Amino acid sequence: MNYDAVVVGSGPNGLSAAITLQRAGLGVLLLEGKPTVGGGMRTAELTLPGFHHDICSAIHPLGAGSPFFQTLPLADFGLTFANPPIAAAHPLDGGRAAVLRGSVADTAAGLGVDSETYARLMGPIVNDWPTMAGDVLGPLRWPEHPIDMASFGVSAVPPVTLLTKRFQTEEAQALFAGMAAHSIQPLTNLTTSAIALVLLAAGHLHNWPIPIGGSQRIADALAGYFKSIGGTIETDRMVRSMADIPPARAVLFDLTPKQILQITGDRFSALYRKQLENYRYGFGVFKVDWALDGPIPFTNADCRQAGTIHLGGTLEEITAGEQAVADGKHPDKPYVLLAQQSLFDDTRAPDGKHTVWAYCHVPNGSTVDQTDIIERQIERFAPGFRDRILSRHTMNTEQMEAYNPNYIGGDINGGIIDIGQLFTRPVISLSPYKTSADGLYICSSSTPPGGGVHGMCGYHAARVALADVFDKPVPFALARG
């Protein structure tokens, strides 16, 4: 069978690119090297029978509010979400915690003397986010709403270590530090405030929802919709060279530069190839999944009601820990991102039992076992945690890359998203999705806006391919709000 377009890789961006092209009336083939679709959106019994763990992505603050996903009837294909009473919590010593609640006012109320400062900062961003989302989650271009974007940029561009100087309390400063650490880079870097602001706004607008049944359900829903509109998926089709790809007018790669260079051989110009070779990957992660005999016994009651927990202590501790990783070290008290999905989704574990998901940042390519370090950070805020462990499963950076070749050295973001690669991923170009070879495009998280389960990289790449190759517009408008 002949296809108009082929998409290689079925992560959220590959699926989104394939759907966008198919909705435009093309014949699209999606190739996936693994037995199932999903990329980072996969769920498996990693520890004990009946305990279902998300292998990579777990909580989806950007997925629920994705301007692209909101154009799709994913609920019709079995996707439902659980919304924790508290989106995220950040415990501190002494039983204290900063908490991200549903409204700006409710979150601000928990920050004491910083209440008004938080409300003044986050209120306008939350109000403007529905119209700004398409600009923030896209390539560098003249924004549709330049005044709103300029206002956002004043707070988003500085490092979070500067933004937090507006606040007096350890709680408020730690809340922003924990959010900014999702960027997986030193907190002293420019634009680390941006991810904090975006994640906080997403929490206020859409919570940080948990897909019932696991992250695999997001992939299955996207794939189900794609096939319902005529798309074709072939799994167990690992692509190692262009010879493995059927002829098509356009090929889109949901892969990072390293794999693309291996596949395409000498098809790119010397300059473009050199730029891809110079593409920079960021921190790796060391991940642990646990089967527990009961919920995590956090000292702070709010933490027992939160889907996501940021462990790392104060702004100063997290800043020092992330800098240590950048310097090639393994901090004794790392920032740990933890999710406790089974508290809100009883499909994840047998009755009365629980699953927990967590990782810390490590130098790219590190194979140092961080299990004890991570468990000590949890015990710090939840004494007795270790007594509830029934089984654990660990993955170092090499194992992460073996699971998903996109995770180079354990980098789950498809390359570092610092100021040097925020809008110039993977190369400096007015059209970052287009390669130097006619008909070849990149739609992975190595393009703007970067990592996360939102599908926007795939949407934007498909949009460029539709215009370049097929002289077609995107046949739908992105959602607003």
Assign 3-state DSSP to the chain and report helix, strand, coil percentages, each to 5: 40, 15, 45
Kindly give, in sequence order, each residue whose CB lies less than 8 Å from that of residue 343, ignoring residues fewer than 6 positions away: 84, 295, 304, 305, 307, 354
Cβ(111)–Cβ(118) below 8 Å: yes
Render pLDDT for 26-61 as a digit per residue (tens, 0 to 9). 999 999 999 999 999 999 999 999 999 999 999 888
Domain map of the chain by residue range? 5-79+211-280+412-470, 81-209+282-403
Cα separation, 295 vs 291, whole angstroms = 10
122: its two tokens: 């986050």
At 293 the three-state DSSP class reads: coil
Helix or strand holding residue 129 (H, E):
helix 115-136
Buried b (16+ CB within 10 A) or exposed e, 168-189: ebbbbbbbbbbbbbbbbbbbeb
Render pLDDT for 347-401 as a digit per residue (tens, 0 to 9). 999 999 999 999 999 999 999 999 999 999 999 999 999 999 999 999 999 999 9
The pLDDT, as a whole number, for residue 412 is 96
Q: Whole-structure pTM over 0.85, yes or no?
A: yes
The pLDDT, as a whole number, for residue 237 is 97
Strands 440-442 and 250-253, bridge-based pairing: parallel
Cα separation, 342 vs 1, whole angstroms = 44
Summary count for the chain: helices (H), strands (E): 15, 16
Buried b (16+ CB within 10 A) or exposed e, 448-480: bbbbbbbbbbbbbbbbbbbebbbeeebeeebbe
Q: What are phi and psi of 474, to 5 degrees?
A: -70, 130
Domain covering 81-209+282-403, topology: Polyamine Oxidase; Chain A, domain 2 (3.90.660)
Cβ(44)–Cβ(403) below 8 Å: no
Closest residue by Cα to residue 479 from 449, 450, 456 = 456
Cα separation, 23 vs 18, whole angstroms = 9
431: its two tokens: 């059209």
284: its two tokens: 């790796």
- Residue 138's pLDDT band (boundaries 50, 70, 90)? confident
Cβ(354)–Cβ(292) below 8 Å: yes
Cβ(361)–Cβ(284) below 8 Å: yes
What CATH code is assigned to 5-79+211-280+412-470?
Answer: 3.50.50.60
At 148 the three-state DSSP class reads: helix
Beta-ladder partners of 210:
82
120: its two tokens: 């003044």
Cα separation, 147 vs 328, whole angstroms = 40
Burial of 26 (0-12, 13-18, 19+ CB in 10 A): buried
DSSP conformation letters of 391-414: EEEEE-HHHHHHH-TTSGGG-TTS
For residue 181, pLDDT over 70 is answered with yes
Render pLDDT for 71-102 as a digit per residue (tens, 0 to 9). 999 999 999 999 999 999 999 999 999 999 99
- Residue 481's pLDDT band (boundaries 50, 70, 90)? low
Q: What value does the mean pLDDT take over residues 119-125?
A: 97
The pLDDT, as a whole number, for residue 414 is 95
Cβ(433)–Cβ(450) below 8 Å: no
The pLDDT, as a whole number, for residue 167 is 98
Cβ(31)–Cβ(245) below 8 Å: yes
